[in-house]
């Protein structure tokens, strides 16, 4: 059977993808040469005004992991609902503690968008230092554990590198290749519009103290700071994953979102705080006992593997399911980190008639 297509004059699929990749590469290069690289400015550390689009949201997040503890602290502003979504998740050796899903939405009643529901963020120095504080109750997802416990967090983030902007700092060949694989039609344009976000991530360290009831624990962990704004639809991708892992002097962050029309992916590997963009993602394996990540960056293959630790799952907006897993080193060379997965739960409309 020939791969030349079913109709006379139709180009082979491989050639079509190559042409689309070349076109996408040219558009990316032209955009960067005409507009320059739109780096975030100091003003982008502040909150942004909602632009009126449906499901506009802005979030600030801190994801940190050490062998005995995983932390996700996230504050999201939802102007369309006049509310905030607040996530405080602790994953440790003895299970998980969090704000239960029914308590994560907080009605917007204050002007300060960085102080909501017991969580307080402060930018001490743009792109360098942030303080993160929380005081309030947390519960275990395991109902057998019992009553809520009071939690207090006093933490400070110190940057280890400049911010990385997904879609801008990602490897242009990887972006062009993925765009070339897509089927270019109205569905692709819709998917791109629904996935439109701006923002950046930044590696550093999160240090301070955690108190949960009578237990006090020191925190000194590699951390990924996140700030994004734009349209966020938890039901847009079929599947999505973000991995933040570290071992020795290597740290990696990747994201992959699979939409019906295309797949978006990218990320970086940092060695001694020098970031190299990911050229390809060979494996993202989420096993019952072990998690594995393999990727190419800087002309080398990087492998990370760790054991599955505590995890939490929740539904978001009735459109998607979210799972966060603490990855712990099973051996001296094992990886430590956080593994986040998202899956669409809203049924897609079928054909009419």
The model's pTM is 0.86
Per-residue model confidence (pLDDT) at position 330 = 86
Chain centroid, CA 46 distance in Å:
19
CA distance 304 to 268: 13
| Angle, CA 251 vertex, CA 74 and CA 217 arms, to 5° | 55
pLDDT surpassing 80 at residue 65? yes
pLDDT, average across residues 289-310: 96
Distance CA 339, CA 326 (A): 7
Give residue 2's pLDDT: 37
The secondary structure of 82-144 as a DSSP string is TEEEEEEEEEETTEEEE--GGGSEEE---S-TTEETTEEEEEEETTTEEEEEEEEEEB-SSGG
Residue 114 has a pLDDT of 93
Q: How many angstroms separate the CA atoms of 95 and 83, rounded?
A: 29
The backbone torsions φ and ψ at residue 17, rounded to the nearest 5 degrees and listed phi first, read -65, -40
Give whole-number Cα distances, 133 to 72, 74, 87, 209, in Å: 13, 12, 13, 10
Alpha helices in the chain (DSSP H): 13-35, 172-181, 186-194
Assess whether pLDDT exceeds 80 at residue 53. no
- pLDDT above 60 for 28: no
Number of H helices, E strands in the chain: 3, 19
Q: Is the pLDDT of residue 1 over 50?
A: no
CA distances from 253 to 18, 196, 266 (A): 28, 20, 9
**Residue 86 binned pLDDT confidence (cut-offs 50, 70, 90):** very high
pLDDT value at residue 185: 58
* pLDDT value of residue 351: 57
In this predicted structure, the answer to whether residue 291 has a pLDDT above a threshold of 90 is yes
Give tens-digit pLDDT for 315-341: 998 889 999 999 999 887 899 999 999
Burial tier of 16 (Cβ tally within 10 Å: 0-12, 13-18, 19+): middle
Distance of alpha carbon 106 from the chain centroid: 22
pLDDT tens digit string along 104-133?
Answer: 998 876 668 899 999 999 999 999 999 999
Taking only the tens place, the pLDDT of each residue in 236-245 is: 889 999 999 9
Q: Which residues contact 261 (CB under 8 A, 6 or more apart)?
A: 182, 183, 185, 187, 188, 190, 191
Q: Where are the domains of the chain?
A: 58-344
Please tell me the predicted confidence (pLDDT) of residue 189.
Answer: 53
């Amino acid at each position: 059977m020939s791969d030349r297509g079913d109709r006379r004059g139709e180009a082979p699929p491989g050639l079509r993808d190559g042409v689309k990749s070349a076109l996408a590469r040219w558009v990316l290069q032209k955009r960067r040469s005409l507009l320059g690289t739109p780096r975030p400015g100091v003003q982008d550390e502040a909150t942004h005004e909602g632009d009126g689009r449906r499901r506009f949201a802005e979030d600030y997040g801190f994801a940190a992991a050490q062998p005995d503890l995983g932390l996700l602290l996230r504050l999201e502003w939802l102007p369309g609902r006049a509310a905030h979504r607040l996530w405080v998740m602790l994953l440790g050796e003895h299970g998980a503690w969090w704000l239960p899903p029914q308590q994560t939405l907080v009605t917007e009643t204050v002007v300060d968008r960085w102080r909501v529901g017991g969580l307080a963020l402060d930018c001490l120095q743009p792109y360098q230092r942030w303080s993160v504080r929380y005081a309030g109750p947390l519960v275990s997802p395991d109902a057998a554990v019992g009553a809520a416990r009071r939690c207090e967090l006093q933490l400070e983030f110190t940057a280890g590198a400049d911010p990385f902007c997904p879609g801008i700092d990602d490897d242009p060949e990887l972006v062009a290749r993925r765009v070339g694989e897509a089927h270019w039609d109205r569905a692709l344009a819709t998917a791109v519009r629904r996935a439109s976000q701006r923002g950046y991530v930044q590696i550093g360290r999160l240090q301070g103290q955690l108190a949960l009831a009578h237990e006090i624990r020191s925190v000194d962990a590699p951390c990924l700071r996140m700030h994004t704004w734009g349209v966020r639809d938890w039901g847009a991708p079929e599947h999505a994953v973000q991995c933040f892992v570290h071992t020795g002097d290597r740290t990696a962050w990747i994201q992959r979102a699979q939409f019906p029309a295309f797949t978006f992916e990218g990320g970086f590997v940092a060695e001694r705080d020098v970031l190299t963009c990911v050229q390809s993602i060979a494996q993202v394996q989420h096993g019952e006992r072990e998690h594995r990540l393999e990727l190419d960056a800087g002309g080398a293959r990087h492998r990370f593997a760790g054991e599955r630790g505590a995890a939490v799952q929740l539904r978001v907006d009735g459109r998607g399911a979210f799972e966060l897993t603490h990855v712990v080193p099973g051996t001296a060379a094992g990886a430590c980190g956080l593994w986040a997965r998202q899956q669409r739960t809203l049924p897609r409309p079928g054909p009419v008639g």
